[in-house]
Structure 1
């Protein structure tokens, strides 16, 4: 069957001296440098991402590769034997940083909770009732932010900002001459304000901002509301091992993606599949449901 598509997802791939090694998510984070991407300073201890991001990304990379191979098969009739790995998934997630190092041999800097543009107001601030992330990267966004905070004079302060870059035609990012001084002013301004109020006010004028939430808090806030309708999906029966999910991560606009029948249960299609494979009806009827457990 030259048209069959196989996909292998392993820790290190099928080639090379490390191909026989096993790994888990945090081990690959350590190996590939991901643990040294988080944190506020170069000498901060390693810090892993707070969920198994590489496990998820490896599955998505495998799915994308299979779909690509199936699309190619429509044109040439050929299958594929796909080799992807957790290491490749990690590097894909860090693609800009990995490419920068491969091209210029420049190690990425650890920026903590700050944005990657280097703008002084792409940052996360402690407010009176929580934390707030902002992204006032451009001069136009910076002006809006200072207007909301009553700090407009900062936009004319040549000791604090590079005014030539700030007023240059065509925009760009805000560049600070006194980076720590500018950050301190904004930390002080936000410290007495409500994160929830600031989120609403800044988004209303076109400055991206979000109050820091826990996952459960965020999901409870948007569930059933109109702020951010998600394509939720439920599988199985509630109270009997059923699962509710946030969906597939995408939708086809104008089309329903509902499957009323839900996902099949373990072994549900055994007989139909065995019959399709020309197994005898009697043999198919006696086939047990097989489950495997990782040990």
Structure 2
């Protein structure tokens, strides 16, 4: 399917203005909020909101509301996405204006990362306790073992490994495994934890969920255990996971269903307030995965879902 002439004209008109081109240039990596774009471009929020509305109407951006926050991202899964990616390919990022925008964007992201890192560092010692406040962790772990019991796991990856608990859980089922995390403090705890348990075939290292530094088709099992709600771009993380997954390998995602508890952003540095079943289904469709099952677990305040997807 291709764009109609009217759709093409509408999309090009949407992009054909300096501020809107500058906005599009910011989206080469991840989602952004209105506030973040305002901080970068240093224009009024009503003006930026108007430009974002026009870009969405042109099919070049998508918006997603979560509580009091609105996230914007490049269009995915339709013909306009090809057009906007082509525009980004031709973007003159060496232009002085765009360079300054990228520098300010880096500052915004560094501040965001600093706040998240402070939280992780402050809570490294009791991270497992924090993650189990909503649904009993034993219930989650029993289900994870159940949905993978038929697998022969030669290699597994735990994304955002934290204290290394998932590596310990699967240590009897996997030949070898690796856990990645950006926080050195969390990795230090994970290493100590695994050493105390004499789990020598599981390793941890510093790594980025968007760039796993692993070869294609390297893993049988990948786990995201309460990690994606911290991610700037969950879809990009799932796409990178699909790349390193072996045929018939599995991805297991444990995370919150949509909720409205804003304090998780304010106090716990959550980027997203959960994910809907349809959103996860879309991620799978866009990255060559087949969503096989969704398990809902009811918590006292928040509900958790466990999604299991396979490589097509």
Q: Which TM-score band (shorter chain)? A: under 0.3
Larger helix proportion of the pair: 2
TM-score with structure 1 setting the length: 0.25
Larger strand proportion of the pair: 2
Larger radius of gyration: 1
TM-score with structure 2 setting the length: 0.24
